[in-house]
Amino acid sequence: MRSLELLFRRARIPLAMSGGFHPKIKMSLPSALALGIEGFDEVLELEINESAQPVDTTVLLTDLNRCSVKGLDFYSARQLDQQETKAKLASSTFELIVPEELRSQTVNQISSLLSADSVMIEKHNGKFVNVRTAINELLFSQDTGQLTVTILAQNGPEAGIREILRVLELEKELFKSIFPKRIRCQLTEEIPIQKK
């Protein structure tokens, strides 16, 4: 977040600031990632200073990429209308590679998970979530080990990739031999997803 603040200052974007002794840039992420998980399709909201000239999003995008650091690319920018509310996440899609020695057990765990109506699990904060109802799509290739899972956003405590891995008995390999990456963030204003 500090790198983003510096980037915005270098790009001379007229951002709105919070009040108080330590003003902060008014920016938000609809769904911040857990530490250690790569993001390839993230959404960031910035609030522009009301007294500033209207922002040309094409110029903004060019300025952001010109001032950005290696590995952080901005793909699109748009200005919200006055009537639009803040972005809300509808789902997140994650990809990871399961080590070869764990693939056959993963097939069995996936079959068990998908055949269940409900799979309750306790999060690290002590709250319980239904992992089964959070899964919109789960694909696994035993040959390549690629696991792709789309997780629906939920009201209240949400199941995340860590909870999915726990049910699949893969959590102990997280950040050892399994490194998830989020490849897609779908917002509620986009085309509605169909539950599978």
In the chain the domains, ranked by start, together with CATH numbers, are 2-67 (no CATH), 89-187 (3.30.70.100)
Q: Is the pTM of the predicted complex or chain greater than 0.85?
A: yes
Going through 98-156 in order, the beta strands assigned E by DSSP cover 120-122, 128-130, 135-140, 146-152
Bridge partner residues of 185 (DSSP): 92
pLDDT of residue 159: 93
Bridge partner residues of 128 (DSSP): 122
- 177: number of Cβ within 10 Å: 15
Question: What gap in Å lies between CA 193 and CA 188, rounded to an integer?
Answer: 9
Question: What gap in Å lies between CA 189 and CA 196, rounded to an integer?
Answer: 20
**Tens of pLDDT, residue by residue, the chain (196 residues):** 888 889 998 999 888 888 888 888 888 888 889 889 999 999 999 888 887 788 899 999 999 999 999 989 999 998 887 777 788 899 999 999 999 999 999 999 999 999 999 999 999 899 999 999 999 999 999 999 999 999 999 888 899 999 999 999 999 999 999 999 999 999 887 655 454 4
What distance lies between CA 21 and its chain's CA centroid? Answer: 31
Angle ∠(95,99,104) on CA atoms, nearest 5 = 100
Angle ∠(88,140,90) on CA atoms, nearest 5 = 5
What distance lies between CA 17 and its chain's CA centroid? Answer: 25
pLDDT of residue 146: 98
Question: What gap in Å lies between CA 108 and CA 154, rounded to an integer?
Answer: 26
What's the per-residue H, E or C state across 21-77? CCCCECEECCCCCCCCCEECCCCCEECECCCCCCCCHHHHHHHHHHHCCCCCCCCCC
pLDDT of residue 55: 84
Is the distance from CB of 171 to CB of 162 less than 8 angstroms? Answer: yes
pLDDT of residue 194: 53
